[in-house]
Structure 1
């Protein structure tokens, strides 16, 4: 049995960001990284077989895996992300039902398109920051779709707070403090809203995401307490607003490879827009990895993983692995427009995790991301604008990262 090394890589992760784990993977002869994070023995894995291993709850669990700084900013205490087994599946079924029944993914895409066009038509200046505009648009769209009774001004504040939650979860200092304050503010407001919904409706039928969360019953048959219900409502709203990161990356891709504008404009069926959205999610950095704890003593390809060790699944590295992607640093949506009949590229695409959304911990809102991003990319391609001089570098040391300016355009 190999003992875990004593060297702790927490500072290296914070310093090098997205590049930290792929760099370590390149130096690992057997494709397995052994280190420590925050003092805990850690093993990092990559590849299709690693996905199946990682998302098997007999191997890796999420309970107690996410540190409080992440829960107090990004996900929320008591969130679905912290659950395992049947309790997790019952809670997650609530989210999956929202995307399948009634006003589903296509409806949310329609809200995004309408709100985007309204924002462009009502602009008060020629210079627009794509990231900021997309965050506001996505906040309004998910508010409409989820049936949350907020004014436009309150929704704009909610969208700003959601971007703060995402922006500050992986960094110490002021960004992290802003993220904590933003979460507390919105959990307070939405918990009060959940209480009001329960006092004014019967809950016989959930006609909106708000009502579905308010009246959801966990495995033990009890309603979520108002604070936890607020956490889960934010877990509908926050990831939708976070698509603004991909929107800025889509603008960056259209600027760097302008030939895709004509292809998106000519795309009447939406197939190319979907492929473009997938390639944005593959090519650009979003989540560096996902983490869990070893449920018991494990063996991975001959490597011992002790119980309660941290297990990482390398997402950013897998999305750029030359063993899986031909020319991985070439932006090429065509890789998603057809398959060679031997393998489906979507099986290897893991910007938001892998595995089965219904039974595992893969993000259930992935279809929302693809649909909303395809809409925004198409709308951007149809806009007439130029790109003023600005810093368009995307620093991999910053998590989450973004073009430094949020991608500013001047509408013509």
Structure 2
């Protein structure tokens, strides 16, 4: 039996907080190993890095989600006992609900809402001396997400509801006040959405049967029973909240356009293939998710290493997307690299790996890609703006992270050069099923 390298620290929790995103990558390079062991909050934990580790991590026969996500993250980011904590038939049944709304027609409707909100927001920004892009884009996304799902949202509610979704995500790597704000935000959001679900079930709120809110309200789990009001609210939030979280990616996309102006010129020329590469490179290059967690189901061996039952295992998301063995010059921003990408489900994992239905790949990944494409189109062709001097650095020891300024723009002017929302292709899962 081969020995798994062990980190020298008695407990690595403070090191994780101090180093942030590159914690696993740093040690993988230091130990020259894609597997090593640490103690995290006192628990023995195996860390995996790289394509082979990602493929192993996504093997549902060896691992389970139950018990892998700390309660403090469930009570802020994901909701207690939501889809991210389920396994086997329960997970598949709940995932089918999420995948059912990721069809081409459904995504195209979302893109139409977003396109309208981009045009509305750009007009508003022309009347402002300066615009902080990050919170503004999140409000845009929240409006569109609620319209798409069928959740009523008055204009005066947009800012506070968006702020609550942002605080849930921001609490992921937070302690103290950040965590408390996230818990309070989730409590408010769940109370609000439970009321929506109750109204739909009582026929007090009429929403289309094809709408996301209707599907969630009337979804039946593997036991044939409707989800509880609480669980239905959690899962509907698990569709809306991630859409607002795309604001992090959009802000990084704006940063990339600013720092790599040659990409903006090519995008303005209308190179659709390059647009796809650019969006992928934003998701690969900039930090979004640091790692994922799993629990070993039963003892097993892998490459001569023993994985004991019940052991927590972390997959290095950030570092796998920057693995020198898979990516040439991973520290450089080069969209062209995706010209030769093999489409692997395990070497490019910004939103998890494996397949969409049973793996750890986010059901909303293709929604994210389409949303980013639309955002980049408006940033490059739908408006002009100036970027004043500001602090555009982003700390890797903060999870999630963002340019410190939030990305300030000024002198915004619409161009009117963007037409109707592009036809969304939908998730590859649906294209394969067609």
Query: Shorter-chain TM-score: what band?
Result: over 0.9
Q: Which residue of 2 aligns with 1:317?
A: 319
Check the 8 A contact 1:109/1:368 in 2, yes or no: no
Residue deviations 1:147-198 (CA, integer Å, cap 9, x gap): 1112122233221111110011211011111111000000011011101110
**Any idea what SS the aligned residue of 2:60 has?**
coil
Residue deviations 1:12-67 (CA, integer Å, cap 9, x gap): 10111012111111112332121111111111112222222111111111112111
Residue 175 in 1 paired to residue 178 in 2?
A: yes
Residue 129 in 1 paired to residue 128 in 2?
A: no
User: Aligned equivalents of 1:159 and 1:63: distance in 2?
Assistant: 29
Q: Which residue of 1 aligns with 2:366?
A: 367
Q: Which residue of 1 aligns with 2:195?
A: 192
Aligned alpha-carbon RMSD (Å): 1.9
Shift of the 274–126 alpha-carbon distance from structure 1 to 2, 3 Å rule, reads farther
**Any idea what SS the aligned residue of 1:18 has?**
coil
User: Aligned equivalents of 1:20 and 1:48: distance in 2?
Assistant: 17
Q: Which residue of 2 aligns with 1:157?
A: 160
Deviates more, 1:51-60 or 1:284-293: 51-60
Equivalent residue for 2:66, pick from 42, 63, 74 = 63
**Any idea what SS the aligned residue of 1:188 has?**
helix
User: Aligned equivalents of 1:24 and 1:206: distance in 2?
Assistant: 50
**Any idea what SS the aligned residue of 2:371 has?**
helix
**Any idea what SS the aligned residue of 2:327 has?**
coil
User: Aligned equivalents of 1:225 and 1:399: distance in 2?
Assistant: 31
Q: Which residue of 2 aligns with 1:148?
A: 151
Residue 352 in 1 paired to residue 371 in 2?
A: no
Equivalent residue for 1:273, pick from 268, 272, 275 = 275
**Any idea what SS the aligned residue of 2:388 has?**
coil
User: Aligned equivalents of 1:114 and 1:346: distance in 2?
Assistant: 33
Give the TM-score normalised by structure 1. Answer: 0.94
Shift of the 203–248 alpha-carbon distance from structure 1 to 2, 3 Å rule, reads closer
Check the 8 A contact 1:274/1:371 in 2, yes or no: no
Q: Which residue of 2 aligns with 1:84?
A: 87
Q: Which residue of 1 aligns with 2:328?
A: 326
Q: Which residue of 2 aligns with 1:221?
A: 224
Check the 8 A contact 2:321/2:349 in 1, yes or no: yes
**Structure 1 segment 94-113 matched on structure 2, within 5 A:** 94-100=97-103, 103-113=105-115
**Any idea what SS the aligned residue of 1:13 has?**
helix
In structure 2, runs of 5+ residues without a counterpart are 413-434
User: Aligned equivalents of 1:407 and 1:203: distance in 2?
Assistant: 39
Instruction: State the shift of 1:347 in Å.
Output: 5.1
Residue 114 in 1 paired to residue 116 in 2?
A: yes
Instruction: State the shift of 1:271 in Å.
Output: 2.6
Check the 8 A contact 1:335/1:345 in 2, yes or no: no
Q: Which residue of 1 aligns with 2:264?
A: 261
Residue deviations 1:120-173 (CA, integer Å, cap 9, x gap): 112331311111111001001111111111212223322111111001121101
User: Aligned equivalents of 2:206 and 2:315: distance in 1?
Assistant: 39
**Structure 1 segment 276-287 matched on structure 2, within 5 A:** 276-287=278-289
Instruction: State the shift of 1:88 in Å.
Output: 0.4
**Structure 1 segment 288-307 matched on structure 2, within 5 A:** 288-307=290-309
Check the 8 A contact 1:191/1:229 in 2, yes or no: yes
Q: Which residue of 2 aligns with 1:54?
A: 57
Equivalent residue for 2:239, pick from 236, 242, 247 = 236
Instruction: State the shift of 1:281 in Å.
Output: 0.2
User: Aligned equivalents of 2:277 and 2:373: distance in 1?
Assistant: 8
Give the TM-score normalised by structure 2. Answer: 0.90
User: Aligned equivalents of 1:377 and 1:347: distance in 2?
Assistant: 26
Check the 8 A contact 2:55/2:346 in 1, yes or no: no
**Any idea what SS the aligned residue of 1:325 has?**
coil
User: Aligned equivalents of 2:206 and 2:363: distance in 1?
Assistant: 24
Check the 8 A contact 2:150/2:207 in 1, yes or no: no
Deviates more, 1:214-223 or 1:158-167: 158-167
User: Aligned equivalents of 2:305 and 2:208: distance in 1?
Assistant: 50
